[in-house]
């Protein structure tokens, strides 16, 4: 049977549809990936239920999903870091690579950043999609596809800690008056900050925009057992049941919901 590219497409508020789309071909320095596991998160639900997050508005049909893992299925020209058949985690950033931020390694705040499933960029709840090879990372042999999908949300947490001056292995005391505040997520459009207290207590306030340069560090933490993330996956659905998966996430059932985008086979265990 010829393969297809079944995809989950958001057409508008609360309007999710499964559609067949053309299988994309990788361009120069890109890889085609056969998607296996994709984790769902709050932003997916916000786009589904509200059609927007802040000033990021869905104005045309958009494939959802930004926490993928899969298998490299085809190489574009110039790709040398992975091979066909490699199991990989995919960092959802697509920066320009040439702006002042990218040149300083801060591609997460790129002037022309495209991020999966952020309007107008399509996401990855699809059987196949193409992505820059630079942002594709081999999974260690002992890390499965579900764990590979969880690298993205873990990278957010790692990066937020880094912005607060912490690193893996540090010990810390959690109290009600920490010296550094890191804002993770967009929150409200405006908020009030007691600047007198900030000055008198010499507090630090830092923003944390997604993540950068830490996927390999997260993968190492999972592979070495320093992080046990398998226990977080409580629900798995095939892509054909994507609406049920989104409903489970909306209703906050369990911890992490995974969509399996592979073609289902008898005794198919794609989390392995």
Read off the CATH number of the domain in which 54 is found: 3.90.180.10
pLDDT in tens, 125-142: 999 999 999 999 999 999
Neighbours of 27 (CB within 10 A): 13
pLDDT in tens, 4-47: 899 999 999 999 999 999 999 999 999 999 999 999 998 999 99
1: confidence class by pLDDT, cuts 50, 70, 90? very low
Residue 109 within any structural domain of the chain: yes
Cβ contacts of 245 within 8 Å, gap of 6 or more: 40, 235, 237, 257, 258, 259
Residue 81 within any structural domain of the chain: yes
Domain residue limits at 121: 6-164+211-260
pLDDT in tens, 25-36: 999 999 999 999
**Under 8 Å between Cβ of 93 and 115:** yes
Overall average pLDDT of the 63-79 stretch: 97
Q: Which residues of 1-17 are buried (b: 16+ CB within 10 A; e: fewer)?
A: eeeebbbbbbeeeeebe
Count of structural domains, the chain: 1
pLDDT at 23: 96
Taking each continuous run of H as one helix and of E as one strand, the counts in the chain are 7, 16
Q: Which of 209, 202, 165 is nearest to 183 (CA)?
A: 209
Instruction: Tell if the pTM clears 0.85, that is, is over it.
Output: yes
Q: Which of 42, 4, 14 is nearest to 239 (CA)?
A: 4
Rounded distance between C-alpha atoms, residue 111 and residue 96, angstroms: 8
For the chain, state the CA radius of gyration.
Answer: 19
């Amino acid at each position: 049977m010829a393969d297809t590219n079944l995809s989950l497409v958001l057409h508008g508020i609360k309007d999710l549809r499964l559609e067949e789309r053309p299988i994309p071909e990788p361009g120069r320095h890109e890889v085609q990936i056969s998607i296996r596991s994709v984790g769902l998160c709050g932003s997916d639900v916000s786009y589904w239920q509200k059609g927007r997050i802040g000033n990021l508005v869905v104005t045309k049909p958009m494939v959802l999903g930004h926490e993928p893992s899969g298998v490299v299925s085809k190489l574009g020209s110039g790709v040398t870091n992975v091979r066909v058949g490699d199991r990989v985690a995919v960092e959802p950033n697509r920066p320009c690579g040439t702006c002042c931020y990218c040149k300083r390694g801060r591609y997460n705040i790129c002037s022309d950043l495209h991020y999966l499933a952020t309007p107008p960029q399509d996401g990855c709840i699809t059987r196949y999609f193409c992505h820059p090879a630079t942002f594709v990372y081999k999974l260690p042999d002992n890390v499965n596809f579900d764990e590979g999908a969880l690298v993205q949300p873990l990278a957010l947490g790692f990066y937020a800690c880094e912005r607060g001056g912490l690193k893996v292995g540090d010990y810390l005391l959690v109290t009600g008056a920490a010296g550094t505040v890191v804002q993770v997520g967009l929150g409200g459009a405006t908020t009030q900050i007691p600047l007198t207290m900030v000055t008198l207590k010499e507090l630090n306030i830092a923003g944390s925009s997604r993540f950068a340069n830490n996927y390999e560090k997260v993968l190492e933490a999972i592979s070495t057992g320093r992080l046990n993330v398998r226990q977080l996956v409580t629900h798995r659905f095939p892509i054909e049941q994507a609406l049920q998966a989104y409903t489970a996430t909306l209703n906050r059932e369990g911890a992490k919901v995974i969509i399996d985008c592979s073609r289902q086979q008898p005794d198919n265990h794609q989390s392995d």
